[in-house]
Chains A and B, each alone.
Chain A
Amino acid sequence: DQQVKQNSPSLSVQEGRISILNCDYTNSMFDYFLWYKKYPAEGPTFLISISSIKDKNEDGRFTVFLNKSAKHLSLHIVPSQPGDSAVYFCAASTGGNEKLTFGTGTRLTIIP
């Protein structure tokens, strides 16, 4: 039972345009969401997070939007740069718990 789903395995975006990565979840107990970025042959690195009490969190070029009623979150990258080409994982946790449940990942390719 995949509680965190990333339905797009891959996404290609022109450099300078907006990249939108999507994530859906089924467990209504999730109350914190994180995005991780992974380059080949490296471990994932933290990118941005959002608490369920918010609907938006912004950090530079990266913005995460949370729609609790739809159990959906998205990561926006504006403008997209070649260095953004990587696999992006969505993750979620429940209250009082540091354990994360990860999605299957979306491979983002930025086309110069």
Chain B
Amino acid sequence: NAGVTQTPKFQVLKTGQSMTLQCAQDMNHNSMYWYRQDPGMGLRLIYYSASEGTTDKGEVPNGYNVSRLNKREFSLRLESAAPSQTSVYFCASSGGGGRPGSRQFFGPGTRLTVL
């Protein structure tokens, strides 16, 4: 099992460019999440998907869109990148069926720099 995979690992964008971060999990989990990690801010939830076909905003959704392509894949799109979106992005999944405290499994992250 690969667990949660993310591509790319690194990306440099210019302000205004667009890109899509890809995430896939092979654990048959229903729920998937996108976080960003910034110094001194911890992990902040951008969007999540409780099941295939559903998505909901998290704490910091502005400037992002998501697609739950199927049960395995959850992508994050930046339509017009801004320097404030420079961050490390983590995808995660969980399979607790809505049970509180279900552990989330994280991918290795994508380090994005917007110039």
| B-binding residues in A (CB < 8 A) | 4, 6, 9, 31-34, 41-46, 49, 51, 89, 91, 93-105
User: Which of chain B's residues have a CB closer than 8 A to the CB of A102?
Assistant: 35, 42-44
Contacts A45-B106, A49-B101, A97-B98 given; 20 further ones with Cβ under 8 A? A4-B42, A6-B42, A31-B100, A32-B101, A43-B106, A43-B108, A43-B109, A44-B90, A49-B103, A51-B101, A89-B43, A97-B100, A98-B94, A98-B96, A98-B98, A98-B100, A98-B102, A101-B45, A102-B35, A103-B42
Question: Does A104 lie within 8 Å of B48, measured CB to CB?
Answer: no
Max chain B CB contacts within 10 Å: which of A9, A46, A94? A46
Question: Does A89 lie within 8 Å of B101, measured CB to CB?
Answer: no
The reply on B50 being an interface residue by CB < 8 A is yes
Chain A proximity of B51: nearest CB distance (Å) = 11
Chain A proximity of B23: nearest CB distance (Å) = 11
User: Which of chain B's residues have a CB closer than 8 A to the CB of A103?
Assistant: 42
The number of chain B residues touching the other chain, given as a range, is 20 to 34
User: Which of chain B's residues have a CB closer than 8 A to the CB of A32?
Assistant: 100-101
| A-binding residues in B (CB < 8 A) | 4, 31, 33, 35, 40-45, 48, 50, 58, 90, 92, 94, 96, 98-109
Chain B proximity of A87: nearest CB distance (Å) = 10
Instruction: From A33, A100, A101, A105, give the contact of B104 (CB < 8 A).
Output: A100
